[in-house]
Chains A and B, each alone.
Chain A
């Protein structure tokens, strides 16, 4: 009998757990450790953030699903990793602290044969003084944050209705943030809400980003083929900004946020201020606070994790100049570089480098988006690690690992605004692969056939369809596994 422990019930961890449980016999144990009691379809938090959905529509309780599927669930936070065991416990184990109200703050150990680290990000609001829902800005990273954002937006709309002009800023709150696509999507949801409320002429909407240029999205931008021409995601995005009268500040690192004023630095070294009445700024991510120890109790965290807290896997982490970066640097099996029975998937794995070209300001400040690895790629990684573990349990530890590199994986981003069948619209983008591969696609690094952007109502329907399908899949309803990651 084998025991597989998954840390984190986000998209990648939950996907891994469901596939493991479906394919492994009941004599093997699948254990989920997650500090959250609910699963969250994060892409739809954007709609919560403008008051178009409730938190109940984007979350559901995990415990009943895991009980039905036969997955052991610990509502707890993993704090320590002991991949060699210890002098007292002769097997690999994790130390957890319960967040379950019935066992709150109790500490326990859980042994494992295989471990999947899917702990996701730590929302690092502390990296920017004054950033975050506990300070001067709002966020849509969690359902709770999104509810606060919706309330703040409603307040701003009320003031506009009373004749008070408002300055709304949406974007990212640090030079190394990721998820620019989510900030972009929220920008146009806010803009749509202002028009729907009849107050668009009372608002200045500004998109504040660390991207070098609009349309970068943390993936170095894209080249689309449209109507017989190649065009760039830059031009495509700028056109949307012009059409909707949204201003933009690019190449920005937010240094601090004071009540009503964002202080930021740009790549040319200049320092500027942006006044605001409403600001939704996403935080930078870092790995969660998980420390690792060897059998003797010595701290080996730096051997398993990079300094940013993300776990090292089968990637090439050697330092080299941008021109020498290669698609082959990216991991494909997500095995820990040190322990083959440990995997890190989703945001928890450490990318070997950015996808966008790294840039530093005249003052030495890094202003470069971090690589996005959420949503579809996260689910694929979770499934890939699960399939490798299943093969090794069933066929022995020499079974070849399954592979899914982000340099051979596509992704879709549907930035949708509005609600209802006729009142929404969306900017839909896909790219293949996520990480450019100039050996396979010398011209642009990506397949121009499979990399495209389109604006229209159809994308909005797709976004809503994905919302319904992925929540159905996550609830492990009949034939859930037929829905691709």
Chain B
């Protein structure tokens, strides 16, 4: 087995709860707002 395949096989898998959260509408609505705030903050940090 090559090293990248071994690294992939040894990497962590998301739990069932994490997978559910990734598609949970209410939680994702919150993440949508939070991600947009982080994006805009990052954009304006460059002062461009």
Interface residues, chain A, CB within 8 Å of chain B? 213-214, 234-235, 238-239, 241-243, 247-250, 376, 380, 383-384, 404, 408-410, 412, 422, 425, 428, 430, 432-433, 447, 450, 452, 454-459, 461-462, 484-485
Contact A410–B43 (Cβ < 8 Å): yes
CB distance from A430 to the nearest CB of B (A): 5
Contact between chains at A432 and B13 (CB < 8 Å) = no
Whether A412 touches B46, Cβ cut-off 8 Å, given contacts A239-B11, A428-B35, A462-B36, is no
Tell me the smallest distance from the CB of A23 to a CB of chain B, in Å. Answer: 15
Give the most central of B32, B34, B35: most A CB within 10 Å: B35
A241, A430, A458: the one contacting B31 at CB < 8 Å is A458
Task: Write out the residue numbers on chain B whose beta carbons fall within 8 Å of the beta carbon of A409.
Answer: 46, 48
Identity of the chain B residue whose Cβ is nearest the Cβ of A459 in the assembled complex: B35
CB of B42 to closest CB in A, whole Å? 4
Since A454-B31, A456-B31, A484-B43 are in contact, a sample of 14 more A-B pairs with Cβ atoms closer than 8 Å, ordered by chain A residue number, is A213-B4, A242-B9, A247-B8, A248-B4, A380-B46, A384-B48, A404-B48, A410-B42, A425-B23, A452-B38, A454-B35, A455-B14, A456-B22, A458-B34
Tell me whether A239 and B13 are in contact in the complex, defined as CB-CB below 8 angstroms, given that A422-B25, A450-B38 are known contacts: yes
Write out the residue numbers on chain A whose beta carbons fall within 8 Å of the beta carbon of B34: 458
Query: Mostly helix, strand, loop or mixed at chain B's interface?
Result: helix
Q: Is the CB of A450 within 8 A of B42?
A: yes
Asked if B9 contacts A430 (CB within 8 A), the reply is: no
**B22 to chain A: closest CB distance in Å?**
4
Residue of B nearest to A450 (CB): B42
Nearest-neighbor residue (CB-CB) of B29 within chain A: A458
Which of the listed residues B21, B31, B42, B44 has the most CB atoms from chain A within 10 Å of its own CB? B42
- Complex CA distance for A410 and B42, rounded to whole angstroms: 6
Q: Is the CB of B28 within 8 A of A458?
A: yes
The list of the 6 closest CB pairs from A to B, nearest first, reads A238-B11, A458-B31, A456-B22, A410-B42, A458-B32, A457-B28
Residue A235 contacts which of B4, B11, B31 (CB distance < 8 angstroms)? Answer: B11
Closest residue of chain A to B40, judged by CB? A484
Closest to B30 in A: A458
Option from A235, A456, A462 in Cβ contact (under 8 Å) with B21: A456
Q: Is the CB of B45 within 8 A of A410?
A: yes
A380 to B32, CA, bound (A): 24
Q: Chain A residues near B43 (CB, 8 Å)?
A: 376, 410, 484-485
Closest beta carbon of chain B to A239's beta carbon, Å: 4
- Asked, given contacts A238-B8, A248-B4, A380-B48, whether A432 binds B42 with beta carbons under 8 Å apart, the answer is yes
Inside 8 A of A452's CB, which chain B residues have their CB? 38
B-chain residues with CB within 8 Å of residue A485 when the two chains form the complex: 43, 48
Name the one of A239, A404, A430 contacting B42, with C-beta atoms under 8 angstroms. A430
Min distance, Cβ A332 to any Cβ of chain B, angstroms: 10
> Does the CB pair A243–B13 fall under 8 Å?
yes
A-B contact pairs, 24 of them (CB 8 A): A213-B7, A214-B4, A235-B11, A238-B7, A239-B12, A241-B8, A241-B11, A242-B11, A247-B5, A248-B5, A383-B48, A404-B48, A408-B47, A409-B46, A412-B42, A422-B23, A425-B22, A452-B38, A454-B31, A455-B22, A457-B23, A458-B35, A459-B35, A485-B43
